Structure 1
Amino acid sequence: MDRYVVVDLETTGNSTNIDQIIEVGIVVIENNEIVDEFSTLLRPNKPIPPFVSKLTGISDSDVAFAPLFEEMASDVVEIFKNSYLIAHNVPFDLGFLNAELQSVGMNQLNNPVIDTVELTRIMYPQAPSYKLGQLAEYLHIIHHDPHRALSDAIVTAKLFIQLRRKMESLPLETVEHLLKLEKSFKSDIYELLHNQKERLTYSANQDNRFSICKGLAYKAFHEINEGAESSCHSFGGYLDSIYEQNGKMANLLPNYEKRTGQRQMSECIYDTFRSKNHAIIEAETGTGKSVAYLLPAVFEAVTYKQRIVISTFTTQLQSQLLEEEIPLITDIVPFPFQVALLKGRQHYLDLEKFAIEIANVQQDNYDITLTKAMILVWLTETETGDIDELHLPSSGYLFYQKVSTDSDGDLEYSFYQRARKRASDADILITNHALLCTDIFHDYQYLPTYSKVIIDEAHHFEETATRHYGLKLDYVNLQYTLNRIGATANDMVGSTTLTEQVSFESWKELIAKTKYEVDELFRTLFQYVLNKHHDKYARSDTGRIQYRFTNDSIADKQWNIITEMASRINYFLREQIRFLETIVPRNQENITVNDIRNKIEKLRKLIDDLQHLFVENNLEQFVNWVEIEASGAKNAVYLYSEPRDISHTLANLFFDEKESVILTSATLTMKNSFSFITKRLGIPSERLTTKQIGSPFSYENQVRLMVPNDFPDINKGNMDDFIYATCEAILSLAEITSGRMMILFTSYDMLKRAYELIRELMELDQYVLIAQGITSGSRSRLKKNFQTFDQAILFGTSSFWEGVDIPGDDLSCLMIVRLPFQPPNHPTYEAKANYLREQQGNPFYELALPNAVIRFKQGFGRLIRSSTDRGIVFVCDARIVKARYGKYFTDSIPKVPLAFESTHELMKRAQDWF
């Protein structure tokens, strides 16, 4: 059967029980071409909600004289005869069609179906989103009229034709594996896959695009070209040929404008490299700092044969460097150079492990089956094997842990080893703060040798270093590790001759005892924190109760019971190691044996972690704390340990060891001083250069800062009144800006309460509300959804304070609800504050305030992303004006006009401004 009918419906809502179809769009495909189209409006027997009208453009008047569904039902059913039914989310469209058919007494459709959401996830596993509009953009399909049935059906039809072509490009091995998984898919694609298998089986052509490992097809690795000598010996001349008005940047970039700060930054980095010093460079928004540091990095690497490491905090910036900046640099520098990206080994797929797992399909749930299918197709196109390229279903990431790399592996088949090889051959090595810190704290075993490094997003470096010098342990991951160790050993035991002393039964009993003791420990910890909990204890962003271990708590009798439980677990873990060492053959190398050795290392790490948390008295150097989800399972416990001060460790292990460390970010100073970050990171002042580079944007003309003087004082217990005033201000500003607002909160609890109140206050779904933690989707997906709607308000906390770029008219108003101080009873803040007091320091001015100012600067930077942007920053917290420390905030951002007036007066100002 080679007839496919694509359907798209617009409806009055999402429920088949109460909602109805208002528009049908149908497209017929034969021989991979669109051969027919059909569309009609339908009259429902209920009003069309305003939200639906806004989304689709269909109003009650449009359908007033349209036919009822029953009048068109026979015509619609006739189109679907002898064909596949295709929709972008089949359960929705087929569910509505069948509900309507049933309501008029007709037989329901039972055609074979193809869901293009599912099929796209399999065939395009690297797509950034699976919403139809965003897929059309990704695959360059023109979408004339989104959210209208016929236009959506045409786009879905073109998408399906593209999906078939993609399927026809797959190698035989991949198709055979997909056929084994097919019965678990929602889509009936057996015939399509079978036909492709038949074509390939009888084809004599050898496909050189792919290599084979253990029956898996993967994209053949390409050899890396060697770099070349620099033909440019003068750095000044090198920059002249690039930056000046007649240089290569001007030739390549339309409307190029020379930015003085960009060149200053390049020169500062080069001088720092040559003098073998360190530098901290604050480069404000619009400087173009990525290009500014890449140019001297490439020159230094090629001219002086010195690998330069570039570290970022976010994968988003890594992608930007690799996809945008590096290609530009390649075009403008006068010599070739090599770039590589290296992450921790757990990011990379292990082909041999995946080959074992793909053969085991008996107990897979749908998400695991989908994940396997996505990985199979991804293997035919990835050159890196890096998990971050994939957009897996939620439980797919747990499956990926089972098949990710945890040993070095064979260079021929190992993505991780290939990445290491590329890294060792590279002039420029891009990595992340996490791996950089792991390398620093493990005798530089993980990265190739380097002496010069550029750390971008450097305001996160202390936090990352602190976290990686500490540890995190939680119930779910601990039990998961024990289950994996048990399963791996079970495989090994089956092929090993055991003595009575090490029987299979004794192994199972040992695993069971360990898991029981772990469960008891975490349940006891949960109850311990609950019993100790008072209002003074902090709550995390996610609402967990946080409790810090102190000398008083460790002296508690109940704590002695907890330490005894931890010691019992360690005894059982040592017994597991003894057992596993007994069954591992000496001088033997294979995937199972290597896996067992890696599991032994994990057990040793667990023993060390439990010893650190419960046995060693280390509270002088470390902050140890526990978090529980009070409303969660009785073992929903998370244990943390971090050093109270990382500066001496970084000074000794990093800054004293490296020739040049360049730290850069848009937010490193407080009131034009670098002293905070210099002290926190332990950078030696005698080897340090500091530089501030201002933004080329005209903030005085582009931004207005507004602070109301009549909001209720939250510090006097007026939380409800404050939230109400905030919500009223949001709606008033939204009227002026037609939505296009981002609201930044410092706690998820306040965000949730404000979101719910605005929904109550808002008339007729006037604005689309998109809220982190409430609206489903990742940060980037929420941002895209926000940009998709004309009148939308975006609510964010935590990660939304930085890295969310919404240039142009999509964002006109940024509201900061509270100054972003860390809660004073947060465990790490408490311990670090106590440590500073012991050093005769001032915790507020040396810790709380600088962190809040840097966070505030990150939030402020969300508004203006280009020289043509303009808008309002509305700060609900009057402390920015009234408190004696308020100047630290206003003096740390670009100079902008500030209005401190009543909310009513500010709204008039906002109206005039726009």
Structure 2
Amino acid sequence: MDRYVVIDLETTGNITNNDQIIEVGIVVIEGNNIIDEYSTLLRPNKPIPPFISKLTGISDSDVEFAPVFEEVAGDIVELFRDSYLIAHNVPFDLGFLNSELELFGMNRLKNPVLDTVELTRILFPQAPSYKLNQLAEYFKITHEDPHRALSDAYVTANLFLKLKQKVQSLPLETIKHLIKLEKTLKSDVFELFQKQQDHLMFTTTGNSFFESYKGLAIRSIDYDVDPEELPVEPFGEYLDQIYEPNGTMEKVLHHYEKRVGQREMSEYIYDAFQMRKHAIIEAETGTGKSVAYLLPAVYEAKKKNQRIMISTYTTQLQAQLLEEEIPMIEKLISFPINVALLKGRQHYIDVDKFAKTLRDNQQDNYDVTLTKAMILVWLTETITGDIDELHLPSSGYLFYEKISSDIKENGSVPTTKYSFYHLARKKAQVADILITNHALLCSDIFNEYQLLPTYEKIIIDEAHHLEETASRHYGLKLDYVNVQHTLNRIGAINADKWIDEISITDKLSLESWNDLLSKTKYEVDDLFRTLFKYVLVNQANKHAHSDIGRIQYRFTEEDFGNKKWNVIKEMTNRIIFYCKEQIRFLTQIGEKAQEDDTDLISSIKKLQTLVEQLQHLFIYNSTEDFVNWIEIEANGAKNAVYVYSEPRDISKTMEKLFFREKESIILTSATLTMKNSFSFIKQRLGVPLDRLVTKKIQSPFSYQDQVRLMVPNDFPDIKTSNIDDFVFATCEAILSLAEITNGRMMILFTSYDMLKRAYELIREMMVVDEYVLIAQGITSGSRSRLKKNFQTFDQAILFGTSSFWEGVDIPGDDLSCLMIVRLPFQPPHHPVYEAKANYLQAHKKNPFYELALPNAVIRFKQGFGRLIRSATDRGIVFVCDARIVKASYGKYFTDSIPDVPIAHKSTAKLMEQAKKWF
């Protein structure tokens, strides 16, 4: 069958049994050509909601004289005779179509279907989004009238033709595996894949673009690098050629605006490198700090033939550096840069493990099948093997954890030709600029073996996250699922060794091993269930809630002294005993092996680590230098327990292992100071003052002209009032501002609970669905997906907490108003804050001014920075929390952001001002 009929519907809503079709668009494809089209408006028996009218442009008056579905149903059904049915999200369009057909006593369509959402995910697994509008942009398909049925159908048809072309480009090994997976997919794609397989079976010409390994087609990779020397000239001349009038910056960048701070930052970093000093540089929004630090980094790397490390906190910034900033620098200096990205081994796929999962004849669920299909195609494209290139379905990441790369316990890595982690390490060794993340950097600092290539100079961007990352990696985390997973893997690996390799025939030995393993797992389950009960019993006077709603309980020296904790100690000692017995067992097996067995060595090391972790957490009283706490999911499984330990103060460790060891460390971020002082970040990180220089680079933006900061004086008091009253006042202000700004608002919350309350209340308060509400934790999708959805709609409000306070850039008219609901103080009962506060108090220091306030100010600055991202942006920052102007410490917030006009008036007067402002 080579006839494909593409359909797109516009409807009054999303519920098939309640809403109705208002427009049908159909495009007919035969072979590879569009041969026909069909389009009609339909008259529903209910009004079209205002939101749908705004989205589609279809009003009640447009459909007043249109036919009803029954009048055109026969024509529509006839178009689908002997053809595939194609839609961008088949369940939606086919569901509505069949619902209407049944309503009028007609047979449901039972055509084979092809879903372009599913097929695009498989065949273009690195596409940035799978929404039709964004795919049209990605593939450069003309989309004349988005959200109109015929235009959407044409885009879907052209998208399908691209999908067909992609299938025809895939190698035989990939197609064979896809055919095996096809039966679990939604699309009836067997015939498409089978045609390509038949074609390839009779093609003798090989494809040098792919290589075959263990039945998989993998893109050919060449990591050889030809080192080139940068024509050396004095650094000042090097910058002159870039920054001066008629320099390369003007030639390369369209609409270039000179930023004095950018060159100043470049010179400051270069000087710090030459003086072998550390530097802390706050570069405010608009400085262009990435380019500012890359220019001296490239110069230093090339001039001295010395690797320069760059560390970021987020993968988004890493991608930005690689895809945007580095290529721009190459144009500015007319010279290629040898740059590499190195992440932790869990980011890289292990091809051997993946090949094994394809050989296993287990019945996978849909998400796992889709993930396997995406990876099969991705392996024909990727040169990194980095899973962050993919947008996997939710449970696909759980599957991926099973096939991520392994590292040996001595720090060595597999060195097969198709070990992507090994290839990334190999490329990193010869790179001029090596980009990594804070997590891997901190693991390298605290590990016995080296994870990163040797370096002496490093630039740490997003440096305000370094302390928390270092604390997390110097500490430890233990949870039920991971402990049981570790034990299961150890059990499976070593039972296989006895049977297959060492040929121990004594069944009693194997039975003893299995019995020992079962006892260990039973005791682990018992321990975590006991911990769960312990937290529930003790939470009344000593608890907090995490960002994701888990109950948190900090255990201290008081716990170590009570009787109930003795029960926990006894259970832990039994687990430790069984683990040591397993270690003894495995050691004996290792002695009988003919050569060193890496799996056995790895298993012993993991058991030893587990013993040390259990002792640290539950046996020894380690609460003097560490913060120890337990998190439970109150409504989850009774063993859903997570145990954490972090140092109270990481500064001395960082000074000794990092700042004293390296030649020059540059710490930079847009938010490092409080009231123009760097003292907080210096103390928390332990930067030695004798080798430190600091600099604050002002923003080039005119905040006086671009921003208004508004604070209402008539909101319920945040501390003494009923929380519901405060939420209600907030929601009223949101809707009033949304009317003025036509949506285009982002609301930042400090707790998910308040976000959820506000979201539900606004849904009730809206008379019609005037605004699209997009809320973190409620609307499905990642942070970047929610941001893209927000930018897609003309009238939308974005609700965010935690991660939305930073790294979400929405320039231009897409964002006109930022609302900060509460000042971002950490909850006083958060285990880490509570322990650090007690420690400071014991040393005669004020925990509020030394800890709580600086953290809140830096967080506030991050949130404030979401609004203005370019010199032409304009908007309002509306802070619901009057403490920013009324409290004695409010000045710390307002003095730490750029100088902007502040209005502290009644909500009504602020709304009047906002109208005039816009």
Scaled by the length of structure 1, the TM-score of the pair is 0.98
Partner of 2:410 in structure 1? none
Distance 2:809 2:64 in 1: 43
Distance 1:533 1:421 in 2: 50
Distance 2:8 2:490 in 1: 48
AA aligned opposite 2:699: S
- CA displacement at 1:416 relative to structure 2: 0.4
Select which of 848, 864, 867 maps to 1:863: 867
Distance 1:459 1:303 in 2: 30
Residues 874-893 of structure 1 aligned to structure 2 (within 5 Å): 874-893=878-897
SS at match of 1:521: helix
Residues 71-86 of structure 1 aligned to structure 2 (within 5 Å): 71-86=71-86
For the pair 1:461 / 2:456, whether they are aligned, the reply is no
Partner of 1:508 in structure 2? 514
For the pair 1:432 / 2:437, whether they are aligned, the reply is yes
The answer to whether the 8 A contact 1:211-1:218 is kept is yes
- CA displacement at 1:487 relative to structure 2: 3.7
Partner of 1:836 in structure 2? 840
1:392-426: CA deviation from partner (whole Å, max 9, x where unpaired): 11111111111111131124121001000000000
Residues 316-465 of structure 1 aligned to structure 2 (within 5 Å): 316-407=316-407, 408-443=413-448, 445-465=450-470
Mind listing any 5+ residue stretches in structure 2 that lack a counterpart? 408-412
For the pair 1:847 / 2:851, whether they are aligned, the reply is yes
Partner of 2:52 in structure 1? 52
1:580-631: CA deviation from partner (whole Å, max 9, x where unpaired): 4555674558xxx645543443333222221211112211110000111112
Select which of 523, 536, 559 maps to 2:529: 523
- CA displacement at 1:805 relative to structure 2: 0.4
Residues 303-702 of structure 1 aligned to structure 2 (within 5 Å): 303-407=303-407, 408-443=413-448, 445-496=450-501, 497-500=503-506, 503-534=509-540, 536-583=542-589, 586=593, 594-595=598-599, 597-702=601-706
- CA displacement at 1:577 relative to structure 2: 3.5
Partner of 1:205 in structure 2? 205
Change (3 A) 1:487 1:156: farther
Distance 1:178 1:529 in 2: 48
The answer to whether the 8 A contact 1:227-1:336 is kept is no
1:135-180: CA deviation from partner (whole Å, max 9, x where unpaired): 2222222222222111111111111111111111111111111111
For the pair 1:704 / 2:708, whether they are aligned, the reply is yes
AA aligned opposite 2:250: A
- CA displacement at 1:109 relative to structure 2: 1.3
1:540-585: CA deviation from partner (whole Å, max 9, x where unpaired): 1112111101111111111111121122222223333444455567
The answer to whether the 8 A contact 1:42-1:68 is kept is yes
Change (3 A) 1:748 1:555: same
Change (3 A) 1:683 1:290: same
Distance 1:454 1:288 in 2: 15
The answer to whether the 8 A contact 2:9-2:93 is kept is yes
The answer to whether the 8 A contact 2:542-2:553 is kept is no
Distance 2:700 2:24 in 1: 51
The answer to whether the 8 A contact 2:225-2:430 is kept is no
AA aligned opposite 2:582: Q
Distance 1:256 1:863 in 2: 21
Distance 2:574 2:200 in 1: 58
1:632-667: CA deviation from partner (whole Å, max 9, x where unpaired): 221221111100000000000000000000000000
The answer to whether the 8 A contact 1:473-1:640 is kept is yes
Residues 673-822 of structure 1 aligned to structure 2 (within 5 Å): 673-822=677-826
Partner of 1:219 in structure 2? 219
AA aligned opposite 2:517: I
Distance 2:334 2:94 in 1: 58
Distance 1:256 1:756 in 2: 44
The answer to whether the 8 A contact 2:673-2:680 is kept is yes
AA aligned opposite 1:313: Y
Query: Bigger shift: 476-485 or 422-431?
Result: 476-485
- CA displacement at 1:230 relative to structure 2: 2.2
AA aligned opposite 2:428: A
- CA displacement at 1:248 relative to structure 2: 0.8
SS at match of 1:403: coil
- CA displacement at 1:87 relative to structure 2: 1.0
Partner of 2:138 in structure 1? 138
- CA displacement at 1:911 relative to structure 2: 1.0
SS at match of 2:719: helix
AA aligned opposite 1:653: L
Change (3 A) 1:520 1:198: same
Distance 1:327 1:57 in 2: 41
Partner of 2:171 in structure 1? 171
Percent identical across equivalent pairs?
Answer: 71
Distance 1:32 1:714 in 2: 63
Partner of 1:29 in structure 2? 29
Query: Bigger shift: 557-566 or 536-545?
Result: 536-545
The answer to whether the 8 A contact 1:411-1:418 is kept is no
Distance 1:558 1:573 in 2: 23
The answer to whether the 8 A contact 2:458-2:666 is kept is yes
The answer to whether the 8 A contact 2:652-2:686 is kept is yes
- CA displacement at 1:434 relative to structure 2: 0.2
Partner of 1:64 in structure 2? 64
1:860-913: CA deviation from partner (whole Å, max 9, x where unpaired): 000000000011111111111111111100000000001111111111111111
The answer to whether the 8 A contact 1:245-1:257 is kept is no
Distance 1:532 1:248 in 2: 65
1:834-882: CA deviation from partner (whole Å, max 9, x where unpaired): 1112222211111100000000000000000000001111111111111
Partner of 2:271 in structure 1? 271
- CA displacement at 1:479 relative to structure 2: 2.5
The answer to whether the 8 A contact 1:232-1:334 is kept is no
Distance 2:497 2:357 in 1: 16
The answer to whether the 8 A contact 1:367-1:396 is kept is yes
Residues 189-204 of structure 1 aligned to structure 2 (within 5 Å): 189-204=189-204
Mind listing any 5+ residue stretches in structure 1 that lack a counterpart? none
The answer to whether the 8 A contact 1:339-1:427 is kept is yes
Query: Bigger shift: 135-144 or 896-905?
Result: 135-144
- CA displacement at 1:501 relative to structure 2: 6.5
AA aligned opposite 2:493: T
The answer to whether the 8 A contact 1:70-1:104 is kept is yes
SS at match of 2:26: strand
AA aligned opposite 1:448: P
Distance 2:595 2:42 in 1: 71
Partner of 1:248 in structure 2? 248
The answer to whether the 8 A contact 1:856-1:889 is kept is yes
Distance 1:264 1:294 in 2: 13
